[in-house]
Amino acid sequence: MSEVHFDRIALIGIGLIGSSLARVIREKKLAGTVVVASRSSETLERAHALGLGDSYTTSNAEAVRDADLVIVSVPVGMSEKVAREIGSHLKPGAIVTDVGSTKKSVFEQMQPHLPDTVHFIPGHPIAGTEQSGPDAGFARLFEGRWCILTPPADTDEEAIARLTAFWLACGSMVDRMDADHHDRILAIVSHLPHIIAYNIVGTADDLETVTESEVIKYSASGFRDFTRLAASDPTMWRDVCLHNKDAILEMLARFSEDLSSLQRAIRWGDGDKLFDLFSHTRHIRKSILDAGQDVDVPDFGRHGAVLDAGENKSDPS
Amino acid sequence: MSEVHFDRIALIGIGLIGSSLARVIREKKLAGTVVVASRSSETLERAHALGLGDSYTTSNAEAVRDADLVIVSVPVGMSEKVAREIGSHLKPGAIVTDVGSTKKSVFEQMQPHLPDTVHFIPGHPIAGTEQSGPDAGFARLFEGRWCILTPPADTDEEAIARLTAFWLACGSMVDRMDADHHDRILAIVSHLPHIIAYNIVGTADDLETVTESEVIKYSASGFRDFTRLAASDPTMWRDVCLHNKDAILEMLARFSEDLSSLQRAIRWGDGDKLFDLFSHTRHIRKSILDAGQDVDVPDFGRHGAVLDAGENKSDPS
């Protein structure tokens, strides 16, 4: 696994994803040289202090010079600006990719500014935490997670194979699909959950009859699960909402329709209907556990994390 | 802490909560004798095999004979039936409590069937996991979690003090409030999150354009957080919806109103409004972490649980 995949990798943006890539690239020796770029000199200094690259610059144009692989890890609303800056400085034959959560918009923003001499392959590693910034990254973030590539139909297959091999070396599994389908999947598995989480936390915070301190004290009864997603980076999520609007609005409409039906069942005391829905959803969690996409311990293993794991658990049943 | 609090405790229902109580009572020696009752002889056999009590019966009337403390841990819709069965068999001076997630309904269901000679103090430990049944319990379930008691105004203070001491001995912190306020708090911190989680999992499962296997593969991007709550016991949650209807419908109405407003901001591209909401909710998570009501590690510490904790984390920053 410690083969050099690229002579020179440019990381544009060094937040949670960018800095995790920097760490795994270093750890697995996937590049000869890593150039780190951030528009914020403060972030760049932090990246330097963490030793995330071999050189550092606030100029994206400067960063991509002679790079074989350019990975853009910025909020999706910044994609066009970055493409404008780097377009004329890219090395012919370079692979340009990104890690944004929406793919159709990123393609439309970047493609017009990139020369025909480079291979532009939009990508999205389905990995992350609720934290952000260069300190939040870690090398194993991508391990066991999927990375989706959405190359347009005419993309060079060898370039796709090289980028696929890179992600596999990072620990990911790799899928390929068209951008529209990606955006629809992510709208339901990621964007809607985050929007719902932000919304319920906002609703709770606005109540007059229940205080914030009560919400916090009793949050272990369900609410706290939502607060993790609602602690995610606001800039990133604003941009996701603005750049995957159609698919998100479609999923929101379906969610609201289903919720109205559930609300009606509660109002009219339709216990059978409630029981059916509440039984029906259990198998999905089981499938997620079977697929290795979540931990197979109750309560996300929090008791193990908060208390000393198991030491006082009287029945390890 | 290993003082005997009650000579004889009757546990009516031996699921996640009942069996966790059985374990902590045994571990901390909080009772002389523990009688376990379940209407299911299969569950009772399992409780016996796990050694959860000193005697076992399918008769609730039999179970409460001579008990100083009776703890009813059944789905809230069963409360009236249990009260009818035990009412005339209770020992004068006994304390009767429950662990149900709705308090006004439980009081109304049980109170008419209980004699004036006992102390009825409804209660609700804010603790649980998505698992159910006697195997799912563990002694530390209540540790660091709140237990809310909702005694009516004329309740004997000494009885309240004894029950409070019992919950403290179980590792809980204890609060006291009226049943209406409890039901409103729980509607927002627990009932609404569960309903929303069941709903979104149902919506995802019904899509025609995104397959179930895609939802599962890419669930790490947010969706899986909801599936934990949506794997909870369907009977319990049906009953909660039916027995805290007014408060739940009130919270659902507010949630939907807020969601419509958020949806409108997405449709019209109001980035500032989205950013404001998404920033605003972050502090709530911080407060929950500060209050010790969730684990202070990204992603609920799943990376530590799935992979070998930290061993390969290149930068422990």
CB contact under 8 A, B277 and A127: no
**Chain segment A73-94, per-residue pLDDT in tens:** 999 999 999 999 999 999 999 9
Distance from CA of A93 to the nearest CA of B (A): 31
Binary contact (A275, B222; C-beta < 8 A): no
- Res B299: pLDDT: 87
Confidence of residue A300 (pLDDT cuts 50, 70, 90): confident
Q: Which residue has the tokens 């909020």?
A: A75
Nearest chain A residue (CA) to B279: A234
Mean pLDDT of B31-52: 97
Angle at alpha carbon of residue B258, lines to B257 and B262, rounded to 5°: 120
**Helix (H) / strand (E) containing B275:** helix B271-280
CB A135 within 8 A of CB A23: no
pLDDT of residue B295: 85
pTM of the model: 0.91
- Checking if the pLDDT of B315 tops 50, the result is no
Compute the nearest-CA separation of A113 from chain B (Å): 24
B107-160: pLDDT as tens digits: 999 999 999 999 999 999 999 999 999 999 999 999 999 999 999 999 999 999
Give the CATH superfamily of B181-294: 6-phosphogluconate dehydrogenase C-terminal like domain (1.10.3660.10)
- What is the pLDDT of chain A when averaged over all its residues? 93
**Minimal Cα–Cα distance from A115 to chain B, Å?**
30
Position A164 scores a pLDDT of: 97
Which of B124, B126, B129, B241 to mutate to test binding with chain A, by most A CBs within 10 Å of its CB? Answer: B241
Q: Nearest residue of B to residue A228 by CA position?
A: B285
Q: Do B274 and A242 touch (CB under 8 A)?
A: yes
CB pair distance less than 8 Å for A221 and B189: yes
Residues above pLDDT 90, as percent of chain A: 88
CB-CB neighbors (< 8 A) of A224 in chain B: 285, 288, 293-294
ipTM summary value: 0.91
Find the CB nearest B219 among A77, A189, A198.
A189
Q: What is the 3-state secondary structure (H, E, C) of chain A?
A: CCCCCEEEEEEECCCHHHHHHHHHHHHCCCEEEEEEECCCHHHHHHHHHCCCCCEEECCHHHHHCCCCEEEECCCHHHHHHHHHHHHHHCCCCCEEEECCCCCHHHHHHHHHHCCCCCEECCEEECCCCCCCCHHHCCHHHHCCCEEEECCCCCCCHHHHHHHHHHHHHCCCEEEECCHHHHHHHHHHHHHHHHHHHHHHHHHHHHCCCCCHHHHHHCHHHCHHHHHHHCCCCHHHHHHHHHHCHHHHHHHHHHHHHHHHHHHHHHHCCCHHHHHHHHHHCHHHHHHHHHCCCCCCCHHHHHHHHHCCCCCCCCCCC
Q: Which two tokens stand for residue A180?
A: 């529209």
Q: Is the pLDDT of residue A310 over 60?
A: no
- The residues, ordered by sequence, that sit 6+ positions from A43 with a Cβ below 8 Å of its Cβ are A14, A15, A133, A134
Is residue B305 over pLDDT 50?
Answer: no
**Average pLDDT, stretch A177-196?**
97
Look at domain A181-295 and name its CATH class: mainly alpha
Query: What residues form DSSP beta bridges with B114?
Result: none
Of B199, B231, B298, the CB nearest to A258: B199
For residue B301, the model assigns a pLDDT of 79
CB contact under 8 A, A295 and B288: no
Kindly state the average pLDDT of the residues B193-212: 93
Average pLDDT value for residue range B193-197: 96
A315–B139 CB contact, under 8 Å:
yes
Rounded Cα–Cα distance for residues B146 and B316 (Å):
33
B129 interaction partners in chain A (CB closer than 8 Å): 298-299
| Pick from B189, B201, B260: CB nearest A281 | B201
pLDDT given at position B3: 67
Q: Please check the confidence at residue B317 and state whether its pLDDT lies above 60.
A: no
Q: Which residues of B touch A307 (CB under 8 A)?
A: 140, 143-144
Which residues from A are below 8 Å from B131, CB to CB? 298
Residue B302: pLDDT band (50, 70, 90) is confident
pLDDT in tens, A261-291: 999 999 999 999 999 999 989 889 999 999 9
Cross-chain residue pair A215–B267, CB shorter than 8 Å: no
Q: How far apart are CA B163 and CA B97, in angstroms?
A: 9
pLDDT in tens, A193-202: 999 999 999 9
Interface test with B, best of A24, A150, A200 (most B CBs within 10 A): A200
| CATH classification for the domain delimited by B6-177, as one of 3.40.50.1000, 3.60.21.10, 3.40.605.10, 3.40.50.720 | 3.40.50.720
Q: Is B259 close to A199, i.e. CB distance below 8 A?
A: yes
pLDDT interval class at A302 (50, 70, 90): confident
Kindly list the residues from chain B whose CB atom is less than 8 angstroms away from the CB atom of residue A304: 305
**Start-to-end C-alpha separation, chain B:** 39
Mean pLDDT throughout A222-234?
A: 93
Q: What pLDDT sits at residue A303?
A: 64
Confidence class for position B67, pLDDT limits 50, 70, 90: very high
CB contact under 8 A, A204 and B185: no
Summarize pLDDT for B226-272 with one digit per residue, the tens: 999 999 999 999 999 999 999 999 999 999 999 999 999 999 999 99
The per-residue pLDDT for B154 is 95
- Determine, for residues A140 and B262 on separate chains, whether the beta-carbon distance falls below 8 Å: no
Domain boundaries, chain B: 6-177, 181-294
Those residues whose C-beta lies under 8 Å from the C-beta of residue B293, and which sit 6 or more positions away, are A216, A217, A219, A220, A224, B144
User: Which residue on chain A is closest to B295 by alpha carbon?
Assistant: A306
pLDDT the model gives residue A3: 67
Phi, psi at A5, each rounded to 5°: -90, -35
Please give the pLDDT value at position A296: 83
Question: For chain B, how big is the Rg over CA atoms in Å?
Answer: 22
Give me the CATH topology for the region A6-178. Rossmann fold (3.40.50)
**Cross-chain Cβ contact B138/A184 below 8 Å:** no
- Position B208 confidence tier, pLDDT thresholds 50, 70, 90: confident
pLDDT at A307: 44
Arithmetic mean of pLDDT, A174-182: 98
